[in-house]
Structure 1
Amino acid sequence: MKLCGVELKANNAIFSVFEKNDDDIVIYIDLKIKKITLDDDESFEDIKTFSNNVNDFLKDNKIEKVFIKKRAKKGNFAGGAVTFKMEGIIQLNDICDVTLVSSQSVNSFEKKNMIEFPKELKKYQEGAYLTALAAA
């Protein structure tokens, strides 16, 4: 099963994809596309382009499930409005299911498990990778 973790930061959707087999063995897939940017969240054309790029990414890579790391809605660490817009666009994809994963779940998973990040994984992808691992 191909799974994709997503972390939303500023105007970027950061992706980390891996396969999980029946024996729960995780195999990271180092894809050329690691993030998709929403250039102008007030431009219909840019929003449509972002949506199309996300759908193409999911379809082309045969993603079966997406896990998005939730952001706080209020307080000091609240996510920006653009990230919530991107989250909604990803949730509306017609390729696969999307699940939101709380930061607490991701942090708890990381504390309870010795996580060895794949050497091909970029530092900025670690949050997305952990999100999918924690939820998968």
Structure 2
Amino acid sequence: MRVCGIELKANNVVLVVLDEREFMDLKIKKITLENDEQQDDIRQFCNDFLIFLEENRVERVYIKKRAKKGTFAGGAVTFKMEGLIQLNPVCSVELVSAQAVSAFERKNELLLPLKLKKYQEQAYLTALSSL
């Protein structure tokens, strides 16, 4: 099964695709929503994300959850992007708690792929912990 792990940061969707637990070093590592107040930019973001899912034959998406309130709360734009991702017609989307990702990381001795970028680590762990 081919899955996509996602971490939402500011106006970026950080992407990692795993094929049967194997990291795929893809050209596209993140997709940006340039201006969340412009309909054309939102459409472009949605189209870019759908093309990414289709080109990489993603069967399931896992998004690392963000807090809705408090010190580490996610920004409004990240919640907007999450909603747009959940509406995709290509595959199912599940949210994964930060606690589940941390617990998985503690319980397993992991060697991160060499080609994995530092900023992709949480997306990678989100996908891996969900399999």
Give me the whole-angstrom Cα distance separating, in 1, the residues matched to 2:3 and 2:22. Answer: 10
CA distance in 1, matches of 2:117, 2:53: 20
Secondary structure of the equivalent of 1:98? Answer: strand
| Equivalent in the alignment of 2:8 | 8
Match of 1:23 in 2: none
Residue among 104, 114, 117 paired with 1:122:
117
Q: 2:10 corresponds to which letter in structure 1?
A: A
RMSD: 0.5
5+ long unaligned stretches in structure 2: none
1:117 and 1:91 mapped to 2: Cα distance? 27
Provide, for residues 87-116 of structure 1, a one-character-per-residue CA deviation record: whole Å limited to 9, x for no partner.
000000000010000000001100111111
| One of 88, 92, 103 as aligned partner of 2:83 | 88
Q: Which residue of structure 1 lines up, in the alignment, with residue 50 of structure 2?
A: 55
* Matching residue of 1:133: 128
Question: Alignment partner of 2:88: what SS?
Answer: coil
Could you tell me which residue of structure 2 aligns to residue 103 of structure 1? 98
**Number of positions where the alignment pairs a residue of Structure 1 with one of Structure 2:** 131
The secondary structure found in structure 2 opposite 1:32 is: coil
Q: Report the secondary structure of 1:17's partner residue.
A: strand
Of 34, 41, 51, the residue aligned with 1:39 is: 34
Identity %: 60
Amino acid at match of 1:77: F
Gaps of 5+ in 1: 21-25
Q: Which amino acid aligns with 1:88?
A: G
Q: Distance in 2 between matches of 1:58 and 1:89?
A: 13
Q: In the TM superposition, what is the alpha-carbon distance from 1:18 to its structure 2 partner?
A: 0.9
Q: Normalising by structure 1, what TM-score?
A: 0.95
TM-score (norm 2): 0.99
In 1: Cα distance, 2:105 partner to 2:38 partner: 38
Task: State the 1:27 CA deviation.
Answer: 1.2
Give me the whole-angstrom Cα distance separating, in 1, the residues matched to 2:51 and 2:22: 22
Indicate the SS of the match to 1:3: strand
